[in-house]
Chain A
Amino acid sequence: MDDVNFPNIDNFDSAQILDMNKALKRVSYKKELLNRVLNIFRNNLLEKQKIIESGLKNKKWQDLRVISHGIKGSSWTIGAQQLGNVAFSLEKAADNEDYQLYNHLFQIFKICIESFIEFVEMKIPDINF
């Protein structure tokens, strides 16, 4: 299958990994709340990553739609723009039941999760992931 036209990670490079200003605003500048919320977000991401793995294997498109949609919403809420954008693409691929595209984007998604975790650990040394 021709994936020459599939987006690659560069397509998502311009988006911020985490907009700290947005994130802080979201939690009314409460640092402890931010840490708590980022922890939950990160744990949920890793959980959802596993759910997507199995959902994709079994081609559970409705489940993949809902879960991608959910990640989009929570990512954008906390200012994780890049993750949200990838999730948006994932959602559209799930809408179209496009296995190749979804799988391709999922690989990008996994890299973005890693980048996100690294970024937060760097910006917030006491995050304690």
Chain B
Amino acid sequence: MNHSKNLLIIEDEPITRAMYINFFQKITPDYQLFEASNALEGLCMSFEKRPQLILLDMIMPEYSGKFVLDVMEEGLSKNLLSFTPKIIVVTSIDNANELMELTKRLAVVSVMPKPLPFETLEELLKLHL
């Protein structure tokens, strides 16, 4: 399972996205960073770049983060993928049940709140990378 040294950020808000890029540039300088501004582009990039970790915003217009999770879950459960996507989901949902459901989704390794607590993310990265 050859994973590249790539990271992917799927976030529609350009300022938020820039913030994440900045963070990763500092904390994981040896990783190549890729961005997607919507779920469709995000999926394309996931397959093309096979990042070691994907940061996924759940709330996006038209196609949401759920779309990405649905495709990855189907791919994983039916054994169609030649790589193992690992997704950190970023969401402003605070309903405990909904959050629980998110953590159970295949490919999801963590669920983070919005705004993103960068210290926690740093710790998470040490764990997953």
- A–B touching in complex (CB under 8 Å): no
